[in-house]
Structure 1
């Protein structure tokens, strides 16, 4: 068990640093919601800006770190959701396992519930959709 935590600690530390890179500086008040399954990663990065919350796309390095953390768990014992929050210089990670999730809900629905639980009715600002 200690070996797993010895490996996860540096990965989680690097996730915090990558969140800082994504939001353009200090990762304080940054929140990551991600869902992972074999071959699929859905993630969103959010930064509390006081009156609103800003969304940031996850970076490829962040996705790779999430996969690395997820793969440290034995198959069949892997979490499906990670909620990772930075407060000051500390982070907190909460995991949810497949049996804890409603199979009738989609990832975006679960993420919306998690965002509302964390931020209440603060508006979430998403970047404009690209025109193609």
Structure 2
């Protein structure tokens, strides 16, 4: 919701966590397309890590889908025994997008160069 350009659009946060690894992807539904957004602030990474670490290590989920629709939200947790780790995480993420938003093209912003990321709001 801290995305000043698209704060109230339907949103999917897809995250994968493991020891020393956090990967989060944020997508906004914009009519007939999905837009990838860089995280609005770094607190998201720490919040995800705290949520993951709060679980008993034997019962920790590996991936989550958090979908926000103008207030109401739903969360799905996926555990290691439910995931085919031979399948690329990008394929699982795109399947989640299709499940929640249907067959829509995904628009990714151009990659930022290192000196540009230091000057941008992440």
Give the TM-score normalised by the residue count of structure 1. Answer: 0.77
2:12–2:97 CA contact under 8 A, matched in 1:
no
CA RMSD of aligned residues (A): 1.7
Q: Aligned residues, how many?
A: 113
3-state secondary structure, aligned to 1:22: coil
Q: Distance in 1 between matches of 2:23 and 2:107?
A: 18
Q: Paired residue for 1:44, among 15, 25, 33?
A: 25
Gap runs ≥5 in structure 2: 115-122
- 1:65 and 1:123 map into 2 onto residues whose CA distance is 29
Q: 1:98 to 1:28 in 2, by over 3 A?
A: same
Secondary structure of the corresponding residue to residue 59 of structure 2: coil
1:23/1:121 CA distance change after superposition, 3 Å: farther
2:119 aligned residue: none
Q: Does 1:127 align with 2:109?
A: yes
Equivalence for 1:115 = 97
Structure 1: tracts of 5 or more residues without a match: 1-19
Runs of 4+ in 1 over 6 A off after TM superposition: none
Helix, strand or coil: the match of 2:58? coil
Query: Deviation of residue 23 (structure 1)?
Result: 5.4
SS of match in other structure, 1:53: strand
Q: Map 1:55-94; keep pairs closer than 5 Å.
A: 55-58=36-39, 59-94=41-76
Q: Which has the higher helix share?
A: 1
